[in-house]
A = this chain, B = another copy of it.
Amino acid sequence: MKKQRGLLIVLSGPSGVGKGTVRKELFSQPDTNYEYSISMTTRNPREGEEDGVDYFFRTREEFESLIEQGGLLEHAEFVGNYYGTPLAYVHETLEAGRDVFLEIEVQGAAQIREKAPDALFIFLAPPSITELEQRLVGRGTETEDVIARRIATAREEVEMMSLYDYVVENDQVQNACDKINAIIVAEHCRRERVEKRYLSMLRGE
């Protein structure tokens, strides 16, 4: 019988929203049963960062040669440094039936959406829906200018989130983690997935 392929979970969102903090909290929980895919970068390690733990630190030459070989699931360049997701680890882990978790920038997420439409895309959003709602219906103490800027930011975020399956507001790290874990549990119960498993079992695969 064929092993059920794991789920590719992509957490992304606007810069500064707290993706790294949420990811660290998720992986500090003892019952987390999905695997973290470590990113690769050409930037220098910061103090305390370890190769193979925080990132795979590689030279530009090594990174570019991996790009040419098609060895990255996604990659992007920021301020002169490459960041990317090594394909082999993701592929092998999924094939072994385990879920893989990526925490990446929105550009990378868009690349994966094209290559792996089956993946689960979670957008981490600032707690602006609730905040904005309160502020817009609030006591009118904000200047029009401040309100206009907030609405513009909210609009950009709504446009960004349109590629994602789920939106989690990062109001508190623990709340966000609980929602992400609920989403992963729910996604494993989606009828399409369960039905596929049933059918392949009935066919004796």
Contact = CB atoms under 8 A, between A and B. Distances in A.
A50 B202 CA distance: 44
Q: How large is the interface on A (under 10, 10 to 19, 20 to 34, 35 or more residues)?
A: 35 or more
A204 interface: yes
Interface string A149-186: 00100110110011011111000000000110111011
Instruction: Summarize A's interface: helix, strand, loop or mixed.
Output: helix
Nearest to A121: B191
A137 interface: yes
Contact of A129 (B179, B190, B194): B194
A92 interface: no
Interface of A: 1, 122-123, 125, 129, 132-133, 136-137, 151, 154-155, 157-158, 161-162, 164-168, 178-179, 181-183, 185-187, 189-191, 194-195, 197-199, 201-202, 204
